[in-house]
Amino acid sequence: MKTSLTRETKETRVEVSLDLEGHETSVSTGIEILDCILKSMAQSAQMGLKVAAHGDLATGDHHTVEDVGITAGSALAGLIKGGKRPGNGCAIVPLGSVFATAAVRFGEPGYLEEFSFASERLGGMELEDFSHFMRSLAYNGSFSLYLGAKGDDDWRKAEAMAAALGSALRAAFK
C-alpha cells in the first residue's frame, strides 16, 4: 500500500511518499540529523520512504522539522484511510551506549517522552524540535506514541529512538 502527500506553506514545501511494501529510501530535508532520523525510522519499519523538503532554514529549522512531521504523520494516517488497519507496536533498540524504547497505538493521538539531550543543537537542528517532530508525527498520524532513551550520546539517542519507532510501526502494520 502506498500514499503520497504534499504540504506547502509560506515557509516550506514538503513532499512525502510512503510504501508499506517498498524499501527505497530517499530523504532530503537540508537538516542532517532529521535526514538520519527519517532514514533510520524507514529502515527499521521496512517501508519505502521518500521525503523532499525545502524550507526557510536561514531562519531556523523549526518550520521544516514541524512540516515534515505533519506531512509524514498525515501520510501514515492516509494509509489507514486507504484500508490498512494497524494495531499496536512496541520496540526496544540498543545502539552502542544508548538504549531506546518506543510504543505506538493507532486510533487516538497522544505523545509521551522520557529522554533528555545534553546538547541544545545537533546536526543542523535544535534538539527541542526533535520532540516537536515526534509530537507532530503522532498527532497527524492519529496514534499514541511513547518514546524513551537512556545513554550519553545525543546523536545515537535520536537515531535509536527513530529506529525503535520504525520497529514499532512495522509491528503495528503487520
* Continuous segment of H or E residues that includes residue 157: helix 154-173
Residue of 33, 71, 37 whose CA lies nearest to 52: 71
All domains in the chain, ordered by first residue: 2-173 (3.30.230.40)
Question: Which stretch of 3-7, 76-80, 82-86, 152-156 has the lowest confidence by average pLDDT?
Answer: 82-86
Evaluate whether 163 touches 44 at the Cβ level (below 8 Å). Answer: yes
What is the per-residue pLDDT across 44-59, written as a single tens digit (0 to 9) for each? 999 999 999 998 888 8
Tell me, what's the pLDDT at 57? 86
How far is it, in rounded angstroms, from Cα 167 to Cα 43? Answer: 9
Question: pTM for the complete prediction?
Answer: 0.95
Residue 145, Cα to own-chain centre: how many angstroms? 11
Q: Kindly state the average pLDDT of the residues 116-142.
A: 96
The CA distances from residue 127 to 39, 117, 133, 145, 171, in Å, are 18, 7, 10, 18, 27
